[in-house]
Structure 1
């Protein structure tokens, strides 16, 4: 039996969603002699279950190219500590991860403050609005709000996407020091997602300089054809900790709208979040 295609691959066939970026694996680079192999293997199995949206023992063995006896021992342990569940021979992640995820989300410290402001921006623009943070060189979609004209997108809160191809990622990365920026590029590269994705390092560094000059970042169909977005950074104690983004169809997010209404609205909104965070 061959492993199932991932949920990401299956859902893209529906044809009714716009992808805001390539959703990537949460697994870090584990080729490090300091890692404990048993923990690495357990994490690989957890990640495979997530990517496959549930899987049987045989499917996991095929997907990970591991012996079924080895995987079975890990699965039994993970089930005993309530990290996974098993029903009709299929393993799935348990709600333990929901608990951990909610804790991690709240630890950022601005979600509750930002949520009503995201909703206000969504109401005013009619588009999709995201709160974005950086984690391990990726953009993470931390919270969302949906305007009445927003198009469905193949993206969920918690998804990680390539930082260089989305406005929120560029709005954050532009204010990191140069060594961090180059480390992110060295680790993840600048893979092309569309014909508009910036894949040249010097051009990307110039793009980040433009972000700093303008005070906001723009995604010009760099993550998916037909989608544009704009994002403004959110600071706390002088450091950029997140970004607020508006995303929508390219024919609605025109240059004039981005440079006019949307840039003004997002800069005001990011400032409001900053002030409320400072004095809350």
Structure 2
């Protein structure tokens, strides 16, 4: 476990817990929120009233929920992403070509973070959305980014977030993961073989610029379609090509 930082402000941390809880719950009253984050009702009430006064929350009756202010914040964050338009264009082309669900993700605070996602004509809905955070070890996007990190960096991510078992196919331990990452580096792409969600396979390739991992590109689809040569040749080829196009366009844009 990482060493606890004694310089953090507990009140700010609690406010973040409130926002995270409301993001998950959708809306909540004082009692429900206090139970969710493990604080007294009076503390939860003060937090909610403060965030409401600063216009980060809205209140409907006795229920609080996130306000529209976050739309403006999210739009501004997206504007800080280098070459977002290049990414969007190529991921849309990838979805159209494969007919499946195509995504681009990057890394932040030891998580895989989805930046863009779209659907081909046969694309299936998955649990991830733009902004969703996922574990590295159980996703093809995460594993392919991990494969180009140092072992020290990989170790820090594992120490921070662990290796939770998502399905019976999830990589079970550190040694198995490191072995898998070596194979991924050798072939240049990663496969999530129903390791995050049973019935769903995913193929991802890294986007690298100036020897730095910008992110990764992936295609996801039902296991009944993602198999054989399509899983091991066709999809890896188009995903790798898309990643290369993003690299080149980002370099010269």
Quote the Cα distance in structure 1 between the aligned partners of 2:113 and 2:165.
19
Query: What CA deviation, in whole Å up to 9, does each residue of 1:149-189 have, x standing for no partner?
Result: 01122221111111110000011111111111000111111
2:42 corresponds, among 53, 69, 72, to 69
Q: Answer whether contact 1:115 1:143 (CA < 8 A) is retained.
A: yes
1:236 corresponds, among 204, 209, 234, to 209
Give the corresponding residue for 1:60: 33
Residues 30 and 150 of structure 1, relative CA distance in 2, 3 Å threshold = farther
Instruction: Name the SS for the 1:141 alignment partner.
Output: strand
User: CA RMSD of the aligned region, Å?
Assistant: 1.4
Q: Answer whether contact 1:30 1:40 (CA < 8 A) is retained.
A: no
Quote the Cα distance in structure 2 between the aligned partners of 1:67 and 1:204.
41
Quote the Cα distance in structure 2 between the aligned partners of 1:105 and 1:159.
14
Quote the Cα distance in structure 1 between the aligned partners of 2:39 and 2:136.
31
Match runs of 1:59-98 below 5 Å: 59-98=32-71
1:253 has 2:226 as partner = yes
1:123 has 2:76 as partner = no
Quote the Cα distance in structure 2 between the aligned partners of 1:190 and 1:233.
21
Quote the Cα distance in structure 2 between the aligned partners of 1:180 and 1:108.
23
Give the corresponding residue for 1:48: 21
Quote the Cα distance in structure 2 between the aligned partners of 1:32 and 1:125.
46
Query: What CA deviation, in whole Å up to 9, does each residue of 1:44-66 have, x standing for no partner?
Result: 11111111111011211222232
1:35 has 2:30 as partner = no
Structure 2 stretches lacking a partner, 5+ long: none
1:161 has 2:134 as partner = yes
Give the corresponding residue for 2:150: 177
Q: Could you say which structure has the greater relative contact order, defined with CA pairs below 8 angstroms and 6 or more residues apart?
A: 1
Quote the Cα distance in structure 2 between the aligned partners of 1:185 and 1:110.
30
2:81 corresponds, among 104, 108, 132, to 108
2:240 corresponds, among 259, 267, 278, to 267
Give the corresponding residue for 2:110: 137
Give the corresponding residue for 1:224: 197
Structure 1 stretches lacking a partner, 5+ long: 1-28
Deviation at 1:133, TM superposition (A): 0.8
Instruction: Name the SS for the 1:165 alignment partner.
Output: coil
Deviation at 1:31, TM superposition (A): 4.2
Q: Answer whether contact 1:232 1:266 (CA < 8 A) is retained.
A: yes
Give the corresponding residue for 1:21: none
Deviation at 1:262, TM superposition (A): 1.1
Give the TM-score, by structure 2 length.
0.95
Give the TM-score, by structure 1 length.
0.86
What is the number of equivalent residue pairs in this alignment? 252
Give the corresponding residue for 2:177: 204
